[in-house]
Amino acid sequence: MRLDSAVRNIKSTMVIYMIKIILQFVVRLVFIRVLPIEYLGVNGLFNNILAVLSLTELGIGPAIVYSLYKPLATGDMSTVKSIMRLFKKAYIYIGIIILVMGSFLTPCLDFFIKERPNIDGLEYIYLLFVLDTGISYFYSYKRNLLIADQRQYVANFYQGVCQVSLGVCQIVLLLLTHSYWSFIILKVLATFIENFAVARKAEVVYPILHEKDVAPLAREIKKNIVRNVEALIFHKVGGIVVFSTVNIIISKFIGLTTLGLYSNYCLIIGALESISGQLFGSLTASIGNLNISTSSEKKVQIFKVLEFMTAWVAFYVSIGLYVMLNPLIEIWLGEQYIFADVVIFVLVLNFYLTYMRRAVLVFKDAMGLFWNDRYKPLAETIINLVTGIYLVQQYDITGALLAMTISTLLAPFWVEPYVVMRNGLDWPLKRYYGYYALYSGVTLLCGSGLKFLYGILFVQNTILAFIGGVVLCTIVTNVIWTAIFYHTPEFKYIRDIIKCRLTR
């Protein structure tokens, strides 16, 4: 049951996100063709300001979702109702706070921009971003019940329909009107419709959401939720500062034009990270169920398999990005939109370091180990801000990106595995880093070789050369990985699952 749910969630996520990514590329191409590049910078900047405002959520969502795993596994619907009532109240308050705080920030927009662009109604555009973020909280708490119950594929369906419809409508209206207003108004409507539809579906799947006889939440459960929320406040602050303020730093110290160029790379890398986040998010509920119902040895086995799969995907995708990212941008948008190779290397390095945390983070979240590393995000935040503000002035955008690399290596790189191995898994930390070093070494060597080989084989950057490069990276990376790890227990485990499902 657990494996079937995980596979179903992964399948739905893959299909929906592949369609979504293709549409995002087309939308971005049309966007650049009909609007000035400053609009891209504004888009990225406002998204990140609102990401900072979402700090008001303070980790309430993950803490409450974790508290749902046990009552859902044991069929304790009375407790589920009590938790969901708390969830509803919290998210309504959060939505209102974001709308109010976001509106109050409107007069301060010039502080975040080095040179104000010639865009009419900039403040009103920003307020639409505020509305888009705020209204998402009024219904989204019901989506989390589906996710906690290993039914993410249900939410994925509605998300896919709404996002595909949004992309098509944005393309059509951009071509017809050449108006950024149509682009952002459609985004607000799609956010409301998607969350409303998912909420209604959740009510059908769980009729208990309509019931009025809700018992007070048990004191012990409430105490655990409050404790986890207190810990997640630190995690939320650190995550937002590290991953969402890069755009603000670039906008403040370099300008919106560079931010617009950077946003194109972020679209590609962000799409891949989004797929990753959805895939691992699909597994979190299953790992949470695993943590409650299986032995320590089984947990270690599944963790090693998940870490192996994470490293395999990171190996393939990181090398593909390092070799093919600039050729893709050049073909897609034009040579004037590409960055230097050193920027690409740091971008891909950050992607690799972030992606390789996925298996550890899934187990940490599923085991509810929020409290144990609560101070880690504060250290990461301070390191990132101090080094980011200094390095961006010394080394331009490369410096801003290097700050993220430094903060990752000095904090989460060693703290998160330590917490999981010591408190959740009975597996030596040195074994984890031994595997990590092996996977990283293979990635670095293969990536360098393929970058050199691509430069020899494909001198001119054409569509055929790009396709050839993608085929080359796909075949070479997966053949090398299979040859090196074919006889490992992790590879055999994956192979046996595939054989079993194909046979069935």
Q: Which residues contact 279 (CB under 8 A, 6 or more apart)?
A: 10, 13, 14
Which of the 8 DSSP states describes residue 244? H
Residue 120 makes CB contacts below 8 A (sequence gap 6+) with: none
Give the pLDDT confidence score for residue 1 in this predicted structure: 47
Tally of structural domains, the chain: 1
Structure tokens belonging to residue 414: 């060693």
Per-residue pLDDT of the chain (504 residues; tens, 9 = 90+): 445 555 565 666 667 767 777 787 788 888 888 888 778 777 777 776 776 666 544 556 667 777 887 788 788 888 888 888 888 888 888 888 888 888 888 887 777 776 777 777 888 888 888 888 888 788 777 887 887 777 777 777 888 888 888 888 989 998 998 888 888 899 889 888 988 888 888 888 888 888 888 888 888 888 877 777 766 666 666 666 666 667 778 877 887 778 778 888 987 887 777 766 666 665 655 666 666 666 678 888 889 988 999 999 999 999 999 999 999 999 988 888 899 999 999 999 999 999 999 889 888 877 778 777 778 888 888 888 889 889 998 999 999 999 999 999 998 899 999 998 988 788 889 999 999 999 999 999 999 999 999 999 998 889 999 999 999 999 999 999 999 999 999 999 888 877 876 776
Provide the residue type at 113 as one letter.
I
| Residues contacting residue 228 through CB under 8 Å, at least 6 positions apart | 59, 62, 63, 66, 67, 368, 370, 371
**Residue 236 belongs to some domain of the structure:** yes
Q: Is 279 a domain residue?
A: yes
Report the b/e string of 132-167 with b at 16+ CB within 10 A: bbbbbbbbbbbbbbbbbbbbbbbbbbbbbebbbbbb
**Cα end-to-end distance, the chain, whole Å:** 14
Q: What gap in Å lies between CA 404 and CA 273, rounded to an integer? A: 16
Decide if 384 is inside a domain.
yes
Place of tokens 């596994």: 73
368 within a domain of the structure (yes/no): yes
pLDDT value of position 403: 92
Is residue 300 a contact partner of residue 77, using CB atoms and an 8 Å limit? no
Q: Does a structural domain hold residue 118?
A: yes
Identify which of 320, 384, 391 has the alpha carbon closest to the alpha carbon of residue 352: 320
Task: Give the span between the Cα atoms of 73 and 281, in whole angstroms.
Answer: 18
**Looking at the domain assignment, is residue 442 inside a domain?**
no
Kindly report the number of other CB atoms within 10 A of residue 384's CB atom: 27
Residue 334 lies in a domain: no
Instruction: Specify the pLDDT at position 253.
Output: 83
> Would you say residue 125 lies in a domain?
yes
Q: How many whole angstroms separate alpha carbon 125 and alpha carbon 423?
A: 46
Q: Which domain holds residue 376?
A: 2-293+357-426
